[in-house]
Amino acid sequence: MTSTSETSARPLRRDAARNRELLLAAARDVFARRGLEATLDDVAREAGVGVGTAYRHFANKHELASAVLDEVFATMSAHADAALADEDAWRGLVGFLESAMDLQSVNRGLREVLMSSTDPRNLQQLQDRLMEPFVALVERAQAAGEVRADVTMADFALLTVMLCAVADLTEGTAPTVWRRFLALLLPGLRPGGPSLPSDGLTAAQLTAATFTRCQRMSGGGPA
């Protein structure tokens, strides 16, 4: 479930996979607690290995962070899929948002990517795996008349970004207040409300927005 990307035809490594796991675990922890600006040395130390080891497993800090975040995105995608299985379109959508926020509210690094849109690669994940079921959830809810027609998928995406901001600020003191704001936001998305100003973002605009900002991590980006 938590196992990592066995990307290519690599047969599997021996017990050195243990270190990879140690590193991923450390990265999960460190990046979640201290954000993505945490040092690779810190991660390595937390994992109990040398920095060089980190670089054996991951090309650079960015790759390690991506690996860790990919896992979360995968989990979120799974949740989105599961939400589609709910026969109640609205409940499915809301349930997904909550499950996504459950993850985001305890993961500072995750919030940072979502809020800062660091780089293409993560976005790829977001789009390829998550975007699809996410869009499906929204459109299904709209088709079912549970969500107003003039709302876009990007509205829901930005909704979680907003809740991230709340979670960011309140993680240490009131880690569940985001639920309050979710509750505040949802009614406005149901049909029947007053018309909304400032058109919602198209998917393309959302992508553009997330692409626009600081793509650098480790020197100058994916390199």
Partner DNA sequence: TATGAATGAGAGTTCATTCAT
Partner DNA sequence: AATGAATGAACTCTCATTCAT
Which position has the token pair 């459950």? Answer: 102
* Residue 214 within binding range of DNA, rule CB under 7 A: no
Residue corresponding to tokens 């980190």: 54
118 binds its own copies (CB under 8 A): no
* 212's tokens: 């626009």
Question: Is residue 94 a contact partner of residue 186, using CB atoms and an 8 Å limit?
Answer: yes
Per CB under 7 A, 223 contacts DNA: yes
Among 5, 6, 37, 208, binds DNA (CB under 7 A): 37
Q: Which of 2/202 has CB closer to DNA? A: 2
As a whole number of angstroms, the distance between CA 97 and CA 99 comes to 5
Selection from its own copies, DNA, none that 61 binds (CB < 5 to 8 A by kind) is DNA
11 touches its own copies (CB under 8 A): no
Q: Does residue 57 belong to the site contacting DNA (CB under 7 A)?
A: yes
The answer to whether residues 154 and 202 touch, using CB atoms and an 8 Å cutoff, is yes
State the helix-helix crossing angle for 89-104 and 177-189, rounded to 10 degrees.
150
**CA pair distance 147, 169, nearest whole angstrom:** 29
- Our finding on whether 16 is near its own copies (CB under 8 A) is no
Q: Name the minimum Å distance from CB 16 to its own copies.
A: 13
Cα separations in angstroms, 79 against 106, 125, 201, 223: 17, 15, 24, 32
Q: Least CB distance from residue 101 to its own copies, whole Å?
A: 12
**Is residue 126 at the binding interface for its own copies, with CB under 8 A as the rule?**
no
Site residues (vs its own copies, CB under 8 A):
115-117, 155, 158-159, 161-166, 168-174, 176-181, 183-185, 187-189, 193-194, 196-201, 205, 208-210, 212-213
